[in-house]
Amino acid sequence: MADALTELLETAGLRQRIQKSLAEFLAMQVDGLDAIGDELTPVGQALQEFVLDGGKRVRPAFCYWGWCGAGGSDTDEIVTAASALELVHAGALIHDDVMDASDTRRSQPAIHKRFEQLHRDSGWRGDPASFGTSAAILLGDLCLIWADQMLLSSGLPGEALVRGRPTFDLMQSEVMAGQYLDVLEQARGTGSVEAALRVARYKTAKYTIERPLQLGAELAGAGRAVITAYTAYGVPLGEAFQLRDDILGVFGDPAETGKPAGDDLREGKRTVLAAMVGERADAAEAAVLDRCIGDADLDERGVDAVREIIERTGVLVDVERMVAERADQAVAALDAAQLDATAVQALTGLARAATSRRG
Amino acid sequence: MADALTELLETAGLRQRIQKSLAEFLAMQVDGLDAIGDELTPVGQALQEFVLDGGKRVRPAFCYWGWCGAGGSDTDEIVTAASALELVHAGALIHDDVMDASDTRRSQPAIHKRFEQLHRDSGWRGDPASFGTSAAILLGDLCLIWADQMLLSSGLPGEALVRGRPTFDLMQSEVMAGQYLDVLEQARGTGSVEAALRVARYKTAKYTIERPLQLGAELAGAGRAVITAYTAYGVPLGEAFQLRDDILGVFGDPAETGKPAGDDLREGKRTVLAAMVGERADAAEAAVLDRCIGDADLDERGVDAVREIIERTGVLVDVERMVAERADQAVAALDAAQLDATAVQALTGLARAATSRRG
């Protein structure tokens, strides 16, 4: 099923075309940095590797299909514009890793760890960890700025860009707001399902699906009906996508997810799944959850104990049902507007694949 | 003299108009945040206070005069577009304070300290300092994103915005590169005059003067000659501006600078001034510099000892000469293009005031 998503993302050779446009854009930016001074070479290299080595390219894919759905024809310009979303995402991830103090990202050292190591290897003065953090803040900022530049220099006409920008900007404000609510929720620990769902809506649903689709539509000059249909498709699908992530974070097979089993439990992630089980657990179960969730050294037995509670309380079945309902709702919403038939087929496939994936 | 700069920044009621457009834009953004959830109210409040309570508005002023110099007429739209530069700057400062671990900014707690305090006052779980850092990274990101949005929604026509964006983006890439070189220079400690001058060029000259002027010119549709003249004016003036800052950081009167005397010495700032005195000091002087520069508890006697060395080695006289030469060079460059006469007068005044200010 993970393959089904990957396959869909390959439609129209999309993945390779996104990769190519990112590689070309970054090569140009890195030349610009090198012209300032060769001390900036590690900055350029780190960003090229970070952006080009990983990622499913889900956001550019939705932007591309959002454009096609609104009747836009398949050009290199829209692929380049859509690829700019990967740079926004790279900036958000680099900053996120600093905030979470995560050591790795996609099996590689996080950017702040990479620059901490550069400091250490070079025998520079001062604290290597602070150097790493400073570098990561700046590299994340560069990605956000470059995202802008990539959209702008995509070759799309000026009036299309002016139409698309409000959505591009709104998407970024929303994801930052969502991140803040997430950090706040970790600190306040209300553990409510409502709070977790809201974080999912802003950090994932709008950011990953609704806004990328709408950006594509705005760039293509779509009318109100298409924009509204993309909300009706994107928000439930995005929530379903996040709920699937919640399930995989606890029940996923490491061979398919690429992450250790039960990793979300060790990190103490405040997911909708965790909030629901927290609400339903009896006193004995609550004690187990309290002990296990957020325990960085949680072993396999501990993971199994939590899984059992999630199943016993009926939360797993209910979250699976929420995923399915939202996926259906998303697919049904595609009928409401006069969308291009090929795009409807792709978006239907993406909805099915994204919510039934195993990694 | 500080008054002369302030007075010039007031020309055409500019300061109040910038303030008004920032206040209006931020009010709208804060409404947007509040609509997501009232937990975001402290985010909006902190950003409003941070942006509206301080700053000389130097960058918007140069952008405005860059526009006027290129023949643009005085409209509210250009003031709004120019004010977007204050949001870029707010983002850069918020992130800078995290990187430098600075506790205060403009006599107020830095953003990360403010949110650390919110965490502490609220009795939330986890580390208050990490919460503060995470919040500051996100608030800085929001400022960068909003800067974009403010420029876009300034009311200037689409074609003007498309013309101006490359400069707006380049300016941001350059300042981030300059910040990285600065952090790197602190870590590597080469202490060379050349390295310090390059940081001044990217962090100050291009960012504060050249690019804001050129942004104004591009928005007004200026030709090549104006853009070139603004480089010839902006880069030396920006360097002079930074060199004046270097001098004030060691010799400035606290009553006029608003900062403790000799603050740059305590912070161990790698300024051009510090690099020059480092190159000229004999063994005994070098020992004093080594002991004093970067000593957070340096007292008045220590500050005086360093001042004496800077004077004795002739560095103070030479840096003053560098300031004067660059200011002259800047003013002379204004003759090269057919610029609007009122703008030439204002830019000449700004050059004189910015390089002879005492605070």
Q: What is the pTM of this model?
A: 0.93
pLDDT score for A37: 92
Task: Sort out which chain B residues have CB atoms less than 8 A from A218's CB and list them.
Answer: none
Tell me the pairing of strands B104-105 and B108-109. Answer: antiparallel
If you measure CA to CA, which chain A residue comes closest to B130? Answer: A99
- Domains defined along chain B, listed by start: 2-356 (1.10.600.10)
Q: Do A149 and B158 touch (CB under 8 A)?
A: no
End-to-end CA distance of chain A: 8
Smallest CA–CA distance, residue B171 to chain A, in Å, is 10
Residue B55 confidence (pLDDT): 84
- For residue B138, give the chain A residue with the closest CA: A176
**How is residue A22 written in tokens?**
């990112």
Confidence of residue A3 (pLDDT cuts 50, 70, 90): low
Burial of A31 (0-12, 13-18, 19+ CB in 10 A): exposed
Give pLDDT tens digits along chain B (359 positions). 456 677 777 777 899 999 999 999 999 999 999 999 999 999 999 999 999 987 889 999 999 999 999 999 999 999 999 999 999 999 999 999 999 898 988 888 999 999 999 999 999 999 999 999 999 999 999 999 999 999 999 999 999 998 999 999 999 999 999 999 999 998 998 889 999 999 999 999 999 999 999 999 999 999 999 999 999 999 999 999 999 999 999 999 988 887 888 889 998 888 999 999 999 999 999 999 999 998 999 999 999 999 999 999 999 999 999 999 999 999 999 988 889 999 999 999 989 988 888 87
CB pairs under 8 A between A and B: 167
CA of B159 vs chain A CAs: smallest distance (Å): 7
Task: Give the pLDDT mean for A137-156.
Answer: 96
Asked if the Cβ–Cβ distance from B173 to A91 is below 8 Å, we say no
CA dihedral B89, B94, B96, B99 (to 10 degrees): -160
Res B336: pLDDT: 83
Cα B355 from chain centroid (whole Å):
14
The minimal CB distance from A180 to the residues B95, B135, B198 is found for B135
SS3 sequence of chain B: CHHHHHHHHHHHHHHHHHHHHHHHHHHHHHHHHHHHCHHHHHHHHHHHHHHHCCCCCHHHHHHHHHHHHCCCCCCHHHHHHHHHHHHHHHHHHHHHHHHHCCCEECCEECHHHHHHHHHHHHCCCCCHHHHHHHHHHHHHHHHHHHHHHHHHCCCCCHHHHHHHHHHHHHHHHHHHHHHHHHHHHHHHCCCCHHHHHHHHHHHHHHHHHHHHHHHHHHHCCCCHHHHHHHHHHHHHHHHHHHHHHHHHHHHCCHHHHCCCCCHHHHHCCCCHHHHHHHHHCCHHHHHHHHHHCCCCCCCHHHHHHHHHHHHHCCHHHHHHHHHHHHHHHHHHHCCCCCCCHHHHHHHHHHHHHHHHCCC
Residue in chain A closest to B39 (alpha carbons) equals A181
- Which residue is closest to B140 within chain A, CA to CA? A141
Closest residue in chain B to residue A127, using alpha carbons only = B187
Gap from A170 CA to chain B (nearest CA, Å): 9
Range with lowest mean pLDDT among A71-85, A246-260, B236-250: A246-260
Q: What is the pLDDT of residue B286?
A: 96
Return the number of other C-beta atoms located less than 10 Å from residue A335's C-beta.
Answer: 12
Provide, as residue numbers in chain A, all residues whose Cβ is less than 8 Å from the Cβ of B187.
119, 122, 124-126, 131
Contact check, Cβ <8 Å, A145/B144: yes
- Give residue B201's pLDDT: 93
Within 8 A of A180 by CB-CB distance, chain B residues are 40, 43, 135, 138
Asked which of A21-25, A189-193, A250-254 is least confident by mean pLDDT, the reply is A189-193
Q: Is ipTM strictly over 0.90?
A: yes
Which residues of A fall within a CB distance of 8 Å from B148? 148, 165, 169
3-state class of A72 per DSSP? coil
A148 chain-B contacts, CB cut-off 8 A: 148, 165, 169
Which residue do the tokens 């990983």 mark?
A54
Average pLDDT of the segment spanning A161-187: 94
Q: Do A183 and B131 touch (CB under 8 A)?
A: yes
Which two tokens mark A231? 């909300």
Model pLDDT, residue A190: 82
List the single residue in B119, B124, B184 with the smallest CB-CB distance to A39: B184
CA distance B52 to chain A (A): 20
Which among A126, A134, A183 has the least Cβ separation from residue B134? A183
Check residue A4 and give its pLDDT: 67
